[in-house]
Structure formats: C-alpha cells, structure tokens
Amino acid sequence: MKSNVPAMARVVSLALAGVVLAISGCDSGDGGGSRGICSGANDAGGPSVGLPSKFWWTSSPALIPPPSGALSIKDPSVLFFDNKWHIYATAYISSYTMVYLDFADWADAGTAPQVLMSTNPNLTGYKCAPQVFYFAPSATWYLIYQTQEPAYSTSTNPSDVDSWSAMTRFMSMPSIIENSQTGGIDYWVICDDVHCHMFFSADNGALYRNQTAKADFPNGFDPNATVIVMQASQSFDLFEASNVYRIEDQNQYLLIVEALGKGRYFRSWTSDRLDGTWTPLADSQSTPFAGYANVAGADWSNDGISHGEMLRDNPDETMTIEASCNMRYLFQGRTRAGKNADGSDNYELNEYSLGLLTPAW
C-alpha cells in the first residue's frame, strides 16, 4: 500500500485492454550482461540460468483492469495452484479493500471475474497489500495483509473468498519505526528451515525485519525484536513494496524493494541468509531490477514499475522461484494520475492496472 506522493513520471496514455503478452525473443550483442540467454523463452519454460548481473524485461500492455466501480487494482500477490492462477490484490473503491480472481490461461486474465474480498464479513474494513502462501507444516493457507499493523486470515481453500477466517494481528506496530507518516506497510513473510521472517517498509527509507521460530508460526513475532535490515540516506531510495524469494538450487535469496525517481522502479540485492548481509545486485535507477531503464513496452504506465510479485508455481512459505527464462513479474502500472478538484495530486485517486513483465536477458 502506498502513501500520498507526488506524480514523478511522464504522462503516457493507453486504452486499457485485457490482452496477454506475446513473449518475444531477446536482443543480443549489446553488452547487457547475460542478455540473450533467454532468447525464445515462453510459457513452457526455459533453461535455469541463475540470476543475471543485469535485467532486461518486456512488458505487456495493461493486462488486468480494476474491478467494476473501482479506480485501481494494485499490490498483487499471485500463485499457481490446482491448475489455475490465483491473484489477490488491493482495490480502491472510495476506500481500500482487497479483490480476488483466478483463471487457467493468461489470455483470460483481463476478463476473469473479480470478487471483492469484503463480501466476506471477516474481511471488511481497511485491509490491503495482500500476500498469500501455503504454510506446509500445518497444511494451511495464509492471507497476510496490512491493517496498518500486520495481520492474517487462514483458509483451507484459497479459491473461496468466503472461506477466509477472522483477522488476527501478528503484532502491534514496532516502536523502532521513526520518521514515518504511515507506520509499517507492505508486509512480506518468507520462511527458511528454522524461522519465518517478516519484511516490511514504512516510507521512511528503512527496510525492517522481524522473525519467529517456524515451529511457532504464526505466533511469536515480538515488535520489540524488529531490526533495520538497511537504511537509505534518502527515503525515496528505499521506499516500499519489498519482495524476498529463495532461488531454487542456488543457495541464494533475492530481495527487491521499490524506489522513487523518474518513475517508480525496483532495486535488488542477494544474500545466502534471510538474516544475513544483502549484497547489491541491480540497485540503481540506471541499472535497476525493473524500471523504465530496462523494461520495453511499459510506456502505458506513467509512473514506472510499481508494487507486484513474481509468478510462483510453488505456493509454499519458502517463496521459492527459479532463476530461469520463465521468470515473470506481475506489477501495478498507473494509467492516469489522480487529481483533486483543484488540480492537486491525490494518490488515492490514481488509476492503476496490472501488467506482466517477461525476461529478455
């Protein structure tokens, strides 16, 4: 979930269309790190190549529009289960809520029925920025969301909006958060063999982490045990929307965090431990994980590449992905800047749709 920040990018308009990306081959010979390895990648997958030193992407047009009556669909969590893609996201309809849709084929993503999760009495009120995963030790699905404090509901059937349980908060807001108008936002849970870690932001240039024993999850998060993972000198350089993934067969974790500059973009780091030191991978606006500098076809988003999630075919708590030619990232793109009646910027009135990045390295 976002704070109210100024529009920072060029304005380009494109009519919303529920169309799927035709994945293209890659350029080569341009000195772009390992660009060219994924030439010919498609939905059938590609070779496992490890994380590149530089990333290049192709964007679909605006792929998934907001639900009926909503201004935006944002902050998607996406996973593959039971032969379908499941998407949980934030929607803005005079206030923030969440929305769910599923489909078997990405060609149908733009027309898939969308169900407001507030139709479940357990999920009414301010709840947004979802993350969904299957916690294998207890055979339970978890829906993580922002209330402002981190909270969750559980289910045994992620296809059924009505099945999600009443809200439980993980912990109160940590006192370590300073110089923030929002408090904690965009909570992300990932587990290793021993611990479950919660990463989050506060729009103040800091990335935070808390943890509990995996055997105790979802209990045991102590707000007083929250630590700062990294701190930027400028708040916009380490802003929000962190994702953390385990790279399959690589003994490596990938961290990405959204930053603000000439449009929104993602910086990235790697580590061999979730509680370890993070080494920069592609962490600048000129060489980002994903941004205007390395994404072709994203001009329909006039605010850059913003809050999203990697497509996961392993839905469990390890957040494992392959570093392969089939890596794809579902993101929010702004189709129109929101304005108040007097013409001033209003973040909540921004119009967002979802688009899909596919690799071109």
Is residue 140 predicted with pLDDT exceeding 60?
Answer: yes
Q: Which amino acid is at 175?
A: S
- Model confidence at 38, pLDDT cuts 50, 70, 90, reads low
Report pTM: 0.89
* CATH of 57-359 among 3.40.50.300, 2.115.10.20, 2.60.120.10, 1.10.1070.11: 2.115.10.20
What is the distance between the alpha carbons of residues 206 and 240, in angstroms, rounded to a whole number?
A: 9
> What's the whole-number average pLDDT of the chain?
89
Retrieve residue 154's tokens.
């559980």
Instruction: Give the pLDDT of residue 46.
Output: 53
Is residue 45 predicted with pLDDT exceeding 90?
Answer: no
- Confirm if 245 and 254 have CB atoms less than 8 A apart: yes
**Higher pLDDT residue, 33 or 323?**
323
What is the distance between the alpha carbons of residues 160 and 316, in angstroms, rounded to a whole number?
A: 18
> Hey, is 161 helix, strand or coil?
helix
- Confirm if 70 and 350 have CB atoms less than 8 A apart: no
> Hey, is 316 helix, strand or coil?
strand
Instruction: Give the pLDDT of residue 201.
Output: 98
Mean of pLDDT values over 120-136: 98
- Confirm if 197 and 189 have CB atoms less than 8 A apart: yes
97: which residues sit within 8 A by CB, 6+ positions away? 90, 91, 116, 117, 118, 123, 126, 127, 128
The single-letter DSSP state of residue 99 is E
Tokens 């102590």 locate to: 222
Cis previous bond, 218, omega within 30: yes
For residue range 196-251, list pLDDT tens digits in order. 999 999 999 999 999 999 999 999 999 999 999 999 999 999 999 999 999 998 88
320: which residues sit within 8 A by CB, 6+ positions away? 245, 246, 247, 248, 312, 314
Percent pLDDT > 70 in the chain is: 86
Mean of pLDDT values over 284-304: 98
What is the distance between the alpha carbons of residues 122 and 165, in angstroms, rounded to a whole number?
A: 6
- Confirm if 204 and 183 have CB atoms less than 8 A apart: no
Mean of pLDDT values over 172-200: 98
What is the distance between the alpha carbons of residues 197 and 178, in angstroms, rounded to a whole number?
A: 21
Instruction: Give the pLDDT of residue 28.
Output: 29
What is the distance between the alpha carbons of residues 230 and 205, in angstroms, rounded to a whole number?
A: 8
What is the distance between the alpha carbons of residues 360 and 234, in angstroms, rounded to a whole number?
A: 31
Percent pLDDT > 90 in the chain is: 84
